[in-house]
Amino acid sequence: MSQLPTPALVVEARTLEANLSTMAAALPGDRLRPHVKAHKCTALAARQAAHGHRHFTCATIREMEGMARVGLGDDLLLANEVLDATRLGALARDGGRVTVAVDSDATIDAAARGRVPEVLIDVNVGLPRCGCAPEEAGRLADRARAAGLVVRGVMGYEGHIVGLEDRATREEMLEVSMAELMKAAETVGGEAISAGGTGTYDLNTWATEIQAGSYALMDTAYAKLGLPFAHALSVLSTVISVSPDWVVADCGLKALGMDHGNPGVAGADVWFCSDEHLTLAPHEPMRVGDRIRVLPAHIDPTVAYHEHLHLVEGDEVVERWDVDLRGW
Amino acid sequence: MSQLPTPALVVEARTLEANLSTMAAALPGDRLRPHVKAHKCTALAARQAAHGHRHFTCATIREMEGMARVGLGDDLLLANEVLDATRLGALARDGGRVTVAVDSDATIDAAARGRVPEVLIDVNVGLPRCGCAPEEAGRLADRARAAGLVVRGVMGYEGHIVGLEDRATREEMLEVSMAELMKAAETVGGEAISAGGTGTYDLNTWATEIQAGSYALMDTAYAKLGLPFAHALSVLSTVISVSPDWVVADCGLKALGMDHGNPGVAGADVWFCSDEHLTLAPHEPMRVGDRIRVLPAHIDPTVAYHEHLHLVEGDEVVERWDVDLRGW
């Protein structure tokens, strides 16, 4: 690892394996539909498949295509709305099982036009984002079936709940959210109730499948929740400049997702990030050339900046995986 | 443009041209050393070269290599410290003029070891980042010359000043900063005094060359300064979901640098960003399928997420440029 050019994404092989095992024990097989958006890496998805999860969640068409390309297309869900489903339809004709979320007449029509065979009715369960009103779900399901689409069931992502630190609050709010989803499910029909995330993976007993993604690599935001998953991902960085009161490492805004705030560094106070720099005040002196581990506050937009994930055991890089699902 | 898959980076050709012309008139030829980190695009750099600027500033080794590869290697400055200068040395042996910033014994030794021929002594002028103390600069220059390096002069980036909204404050603080740099320059020798950015391009009369980059495309952060440069870059995005109180567009955290906060959208209040979504409240009703322009708060980390810049005139995409300087 001492030879790795920095900044470089580093994944602790054992921690990753422990995270995957813990989740597979809690939600075996198809009870988990891992979300690939967090890691954007088919090699990591293959590890999840080896743990028994063969159905995946994607956020972009590029992710869907990339997963199918490497033979992980048994059952791919695009948990997002699209207005041009042509590429998805092509994917289905190539033999993958392709399902797309829909929440409006326009997105249903797009799915039918693009010849995507199956849909989930995306229901708003409290997060101000996509999803129809629960009372609209039945009508949309009817419209989808009339357009020749198979309606597999409902989807409802409780994104306003998954990150709440207090477990009891998560439980209470989840019950309200899932009541809305179950109400919609009754009018929609189908088998699937797709919901959940890393923060509710063991609380959401309504869902038939949980769309968790962050559990594999984890970040400082989710770490506050006391979940049985540990940080597996960090950005390896080199100290390039030392001043009396601070040091500068070569890991900046283009190597880190910043929406959840500054990253963390053990034994140091992080001051701020610039394009290619992290300014921090270490508790013990550091020297130019020292290597540090930077823990991203939010992994998803962090990984999306990088070309590779380096799997390490101790100081050894045992594998280099392409982050091959980037872009749209 | 109606056929462009979204999210997509869009550059207004005429605005870009106006920005480049305005800057070239103010700082002709080598008075400007455009910083490529803001756009990471050799095709855009070629436009800057066509406006008379043949010397460029880079933030990463990959940027240096990419510029040399397309024949823009007349005089490349890596305005950043590195501990492994091997690739830079190779670039110089291939015929490019290569200069690297140094601010410590270790980075000088790295430049010598990597056989980079020329250096600038990077001086701290008030921003808590890289750069030696001004009183250290002379000693470092001596050490560099003793190691066989050509010392071209000094560099000192007033990054704590370039973004201040009040012009008078910028002027006052700049004078203090540049006094430090000029003191260092006296002890260092050489011709070059490399400093400045878009926010001080016309105020910094001490510098022999200004390292501005943002002026070409601009962002909402710099827009507050009343500079004669206009927004040329936006993210084209599609409305994919409409609810009574908000709409959702397909432009999220992986399409936007978020360190300066949320992007702006004309005629709407932006609520928040998710990985692939922007939730906003439009002042007038929007429909699913509508296309909107999202103005990034900070262009540099925005562009770094994208594969292409689409140059547009009205509704027509006239060129597609690769963002070919990404990564490290």
Q: What token pair was written down for A157?
A: 């992502």
**pLDDT of res. A277:** 98
Mutation site, B120, B214, B276, interface A, largest A CB count within 10 A = B276
Asked if residue B219 has pLDDT above 90, the reply is no
- Name residue B3's amino acid: Q
Q: Quick one: DSSP state of residue B130?
A: S
Residue B222 pLDDT level (bands cut at 50, 70, 90) = confident
Residue B118, chain A, CB below 8 Å: the answer is no
**Buried/exposed B60-70: b ≥16 CB within 10 Å, e otherwise:** bbbbbbbbbee
**Range 262-291 of A in CB contact (< 8 A) with B:** 271-277, 279, 287-289
Among chain A residues, CA nearest to B277: A129
DSSP 3-state percent helix, strand, coil across chain A (nearest 5): 30, 25, 40
Domain range B230-322, CATH architecture:
Beta Barrel (2.40)
- Name residue B6's amino acid: T
Decide if B83 and A276 are in contact by the 8 Å CB cutoff. no
Q: Are strands B8-12 and A316-322 parallel, antiparallel or unpaired?
A: unpaired
The residue ranges of every structural domain in chain A are: 13-216, 230-322
**pLDDT of res. B194:** 98
Mean pLDDT of B107-122: 98
Domain range A13-216, CATH architecture:
Alpha-Beta Barrel (3.20)
Residue B243, chain A, CB below 8 Å: the answer is yes
- Convert the pLDDT of each residue in A164-183 to its tens digit: 999 999 999 999 999 999 99
Asked if residue B172 has pLDDT above 90, the reply is yes
Residue B177, chain A, CB below 8 Å: the answer is no
- Name residue A65's amino acid: E
Taking the model in full, what pTM does it have?
0.96
User: Which of B60, B257, B273 faces A276 most closely, judged by CB atoms?
Assistant: B60
**pLDDT of res. A219:** 84
Decide if B5 and A277 are in contact by the 8 Å CB cutoff. no
How open is the CA angle A164-B270-A100, to the nearest 5 degrees? 70
Alpha-carbon distance values, A257 to A64, A151, A164, A233, B159 (Å): 22, 35, 20, 13, 21
User: Which of B84, B103, B240 faces A241 most closely, judged by CB atoms?
Assistant: B103
- Name residue A31's amino acid: R
Residue A317: how many CB atoms within 10 A of its CB? 18
Q: What is the ipTM of this complex?
A: 0.96
- In sequence order, which residues have a C-beta less than 8 Å from that of residue B127 and are 6 or more positions away? B157, B158, B159, B160
A-chain CB neighbours of B103 within 8 Å are 241
- Convert the pLDDT of each residue in B133-171 to its tens digit: 999 999 999 999 999 999 999 999 999 999 999 999 999
Task: Compute the distance between CA of residue A40 and CA of residue A45 in angstroms, rounded to an integer.
Answer: 8
The structure tokens 């898959």 sit at: B5
Mutation site, B65, B143, B253, B270, interface A, largest A CB count within 10 A = B253
SS3 A325: coil
- Report the half-sphere exposure of B70 (CA within 13 A, side-chain side): 20
**pLDDT of res. A40:** 98
Task: Compute the distance between CA of residue A219 and CA of residue A10 in angstroms, rounded to an integer.
Answer: 13
Is the Cβ–Cβ distance between B118 and B98 less than 8 Å?
Answer: yes
Residue B201 pLDDT level (bands cut at 50, 70, 90) = very high
Decide if B106 and A248 are in contact by the 8 Å CB cutoff. no
CA distance B16 to chain A (A): 22
- In sequence order, which residues have a C-beta less than 8 Å from that of residue A175 and are 6 or more positions away? none
Task: Compute the distance between CA of residue A38 and CA of residue A299 in angstroms, rounded to an integer.
Answer: 7
Decide if A7 and B328 are in contact by the 8 Å CB cutoff. yes
User: Which of A60, A84, A107 faces B276 most closely, judged by CB atoms?
Assistant: A60
Residue A5, chain B, CB below 8 Å: the answer is yes
- Convert the pLDDT of each residue in A283-325 to its tens digit: 999 999 999 999 999 999 999 999 999 999 999 999 999 999 9
pLDDT, one tens digit for every residue, chain A (328 residues): 888 999 999 999 999 999 999 999 999 999 999 999 999 999 999 999 999 999 999 999 999 999 999 999 999 999 999 999 999 999 999 999 999 999 999 999 999 999 999 999 999 999 999 999 999 999 999 999 999 999 999 999 999 999 999 999 999 999 999 999 999 999 999 999 999 999 999 999 999 999 999 999 998 888 889 999 999 999 999 999 999 999 999 999 999 999 999 999 999 999 999 999 999 999 999 999 999 999 999 999 999 999 999 999 999 999 999 999 999 9
Residue A249, chain B, CB below 8 Å: the answer is no
Give me the CATH code for the B14-217 domain, please.
3.20.20.10
Asked if residue B211 has pLDDT above 90, the reply is yes
Alpha-carbon distance values, B32 to A142, A243, B200 (Å): 63, 29, 12
Count of all residues that appear for chain A in the document? 328
**pLDDT of res. A223:** 85
Decide if A300 and B275 are in contact by the 8 Å CB cutoff. yes
Residue A31, chain B, CB below 8 Å: the answer is no
**pLDDT of res. B180:** 97
Residue B51 pLDDT level (bands cut at 50, 70, 90) = very high
Sign of the CA dihedral with A108 first, then A111, A117, and A121 last: negative
Residue B123, chain A, CB below 8 Å: the answer is no
- In sequence order, which residues have a C-beta less than 8 Å from that of residue B279 and are 6 or more positions away? A128, A129, B246, B247, B248, B270, B271, B272, B273
Task: Compute the distance between CA of residue B308 and CA of residue B141 in angstroms, rounded to an integer.
Answer: 41
Q: Decide: residue B139, CB within 10 A, 0-12 exposed, 13-18 middle, 19+ buried.
A: middle
> What is the secondary structure of B249-315 as a DSSP string?
ES--TTSSB-TT---B-TTEEEEEE-SS-EEEEESS---TT-EEEEB-SBHHHHHTT-SEEEEEETT
**pLDDT of res. B5:** 96
